[in-house]
Amino acid sequence: MIPGSTPLAETAAKTSRRRHLLDFEGWSRDDVLALLDTTDVMAQVMQRTIKKVPALQGFTIGTLFFEDSTRTRLSFERAARAQSADVISFAAGGSSLSKGESLKDTLRTIDALQADLYVVRHQAAGAPHQIARWTDALVVNAGDGRRAHPTQALLDAYTFRARFEGFDGFAGKRLAIVGDVMHSRVARSNVALWTLLGAEVVLCGPRTLLPAELGQARGVTLTHRVDEALEGAHAVMALRLQHERMTRGLLPSLAEYRQRYQVTRKRMRAAHAGALVMHPGPINRDIELEGALADAPYSVIEAQVANGVPVRMAILYTLLVGSR
- The residues binding ligand CP (CB under 6 A) are 69-72, 143, 152, 280-282
3-state per-residue secondary structure call for the chain:
CCCCCCHHHHHHHHCCCCCCECCCCCCCHHHHHHHHHHHHHHHHHCCCCCCCCCCCCCCEEEEEECCCCCHHHHHHHHHHHHCCCEEEEEECCCCHHHHCCCHHHHHHHHHCCCCCEEEEEECCCCHHHHHHHHCCCEEEEEEECCCECHHHHHHHHHHHHHHCCCCCCCCCCEEEEECCCCCCHHHHHHHHHHHHCCCEEEEECCHHHCCHHHHHCCCEEEECCHHHHHCCCCEEEECCCCHHHCCCCCCCCHHHHHHHHCECHHHHCCCCCCCEEECCCCCCECCCECHHHHCCCCECHHHHHHHHHHHHHHHHHHHHHHCC
Contact 76, 63 (CB under 8 A): yes
Smallest gap from residue 191 Cβ to ligand CP (A):
16
Smallest gap from residue 72 Cβ to ligand CP (A):
3
The CA-based dihedral angle spanning residues 291, 275, 194, 160, taken in that order and rounded to the nearest 10 degrees? 80
Closer by beta carbon to ligand CP, 280 or else 310:
280
Smallest gap from residue 112 Cβ to ligand CP (A):
27
Closer by beta carbon to ligand CP, 128 or else 280:
280
CA 215, CA 223: separation in Å to the nearest integer?
9
CA 52 to chain centre: 23
Closer by beta carbon to ligand CP, 284 or else 323:
284
Closer by beta carbon to ligand CP, 55 or else 181:
181
Contact 305, 279 (CB under 8 A): no
Smallest gap from residue 23 Cβ to ligand CP (A):
15
Smallest gap from residue 50 Cβ to ligand CP (A):
27
Smallest gap from residue 306 Cβ to ligand CP (A):
13
Smallest gap from residue 5 Cβ to ligand CP (A):
33
Closer by beta carbon to ligand CP, 38 or else 69:
69
Smallest gap from residue 136 Cβ to ligand CP (A):
26
Closer by beta carbon to ligand CP, 71 or else 260:
71
- Radius of gyration (C-alpha) of the chain in whole angstroms: 20
Closer by beta carbon to ligand CP, 222 or else 278:
278
Closer by beta carbon to ligand CP, 206 or else 280:
280
